[in-house]
Amino acid sequence: MSAKHQTWGWMLAVDFFFAGMGGAMLVIAGLADLFVGRDSVSLLGSVVGPLAMCVGCGFLILELGRPLQAWRVFMNPKAILTFGAWMMTFAIIFGFIFASFAIDFSLFFWRDSALLRHLVAILMVVTGLIVATYPGVLLARHKGRPFWVGPGIMGLFLLSSLVTAFAAHYLCGLIVAPRNVPYLWEAMPYVLGALLFAQGLLWCGYLWIKLSGTSKSEAASAKRWISGDQSQQFKLAFLFFGTVAPLILTLIPLTMAAAMAAVLALFGGVTMRLLTVNSGNDRTMIPGEAIYRSRLPKGHEKFLGKAWL
């Protein structure tokens, strides 16, 4: 922990980003294999998916107060974080096994078995979908966190995961072209554009609902995004650079424009998660509690040192 914070920090947001993107990349790769054909996504994309989840796990471990005891998060089957940790582990394993089918290496004797590949693809799609969705479910269950509570955040996280996954698959395809079915890769910018449109629309709707239709604390937390301390980052970084600008770029039929759109969409995905996790600082307060807590010392302030001397 870099700072003395009492809520989740930026590393968890980055974990959510990599886990969501990686999980959704597995879903896309698996579905493409099952319904379009073998090697219809880039080999690099198939490797980057599980690798991204590994990076996400690394950030999650660094976020812990006791990183060396990270294995303990697998211990309580009732906790959603434990469920997510197990699913992420399975998704990583299935992801790497699936990627091995596309690697020309004699030791991978299973690579010609279509049945096994399809089975792994199905398992990968299921676990990948859970990994892409579960951060939203995790946040949505926090009754005392007004910005998160409710099912809406789950849909937004899943949508963002798909946006970032299509962007990452497209960029990977630029570096290592898919062996088969090139039209799938060529169609990705259009799918990305449609998802970005939905993302912009749903986020505006989500904030409007939080602002107008629910409790005072939910309205106050939404105001931070519209006119408060998070509004600049939301409007400029996420809405403009992370959603609208890439949406416009996807409409330009140039590879360079689509690549820029993909990079900006990834930037938007990180920004969205940073802002959302930061909104966890807002809690439904008991009358008088906010004033009391604002007056508490934040650490070993100078005046305390003087008082004891």
Partner 1 sequence: MARYAIVMDTRRCIGCHSCTVACKVHNELPTEMVYNPVVSDGPHGTFPNLSMRFLPLICMHCENSPCVDACPTGASIQREDGIVYVEDKKCVGCLSCVMACPYGARYMNHETGAVNKCNLCMDRVDQGLVPHCVATCHQKARIFGDLDDPTSEVNRLINENNGVQLLGELGTEPHIYYIG
Residues found near partner 1 in the complex (CB under 8 A): 1, 4-8, 63-67, 69-70, 72-76, 78-82, 85, 141-145, 280, 283-289, 291-293, 296-301, 304
Give the nearer residue to partner 1 in terms of CB position, either 80 or 175.
Answer: 80
| Least distance in angstroms from the C-beta of 62 to partner 1 | 11
d(CA 304, CA 307): 5
Q: Which amino acid is at 42?
A: S
Please tell me whether residue 64 adopts helix, strand or coil conformation.
coil
Residue (of 236, 227, 230, 232) closest to 279 by Cα position: 230
Give the nearer residue to partner 1 in terms of CB position, either 29 or 139.
Answer: 139
Contacts of 220 (CB under 8 A, 6+ apart): 146, 282
Give the nearer residue to partner 1 in terms of CB position, either 75 or 115.
Answer: 75
Contacts of 292 (CB under 8 A, 6+ apart): none
d(CA 185, CA 205): 31
Give the nearer residue to partner 1 in terms of CB position, either 105 or 303.
Answer: 303
Q: Which helix (H) or strand (E) holds 222?
A: helix 216-226
| Least distance in angstroms from the C-beta of 224 to partner 1 | 17
Give the nearer residue to partner 1 in terms of CB position, either 31 or 57.
Answer: 57
d(CA 272, CA 17): 9
Give the nearer residue to partner 1 in terms of CB position, either 229 or 301.
Answer: 301
Give the nearer residue to partner 1 in terms of CB position, either 208 or 292.
Answer: 292
Other Cβ atoms less than 10 A from the Cβ of 174: the count is 16
d(CA 8, CA 133): 19
| Least distance in angstroms from the C-beta of 12 to partner 1 | 8
| Least distance in angstroms from the C-beta of 54 to partner 1 | 18
Residue (of 166, 141, 165) closest to 151 by Cα position: 141
| Least distance in angstroms from the C-beta of 248 to partner 1 | 37
| Least distance in angstroms from the C-beta of 261 to partner 1 | 34
Residue 80 · residue 134 · CB < 8 Å = yes
DSSP class of residue 244 equals I
| Least distance in angstroms from the C-beta of 290 to partner 1 | 9
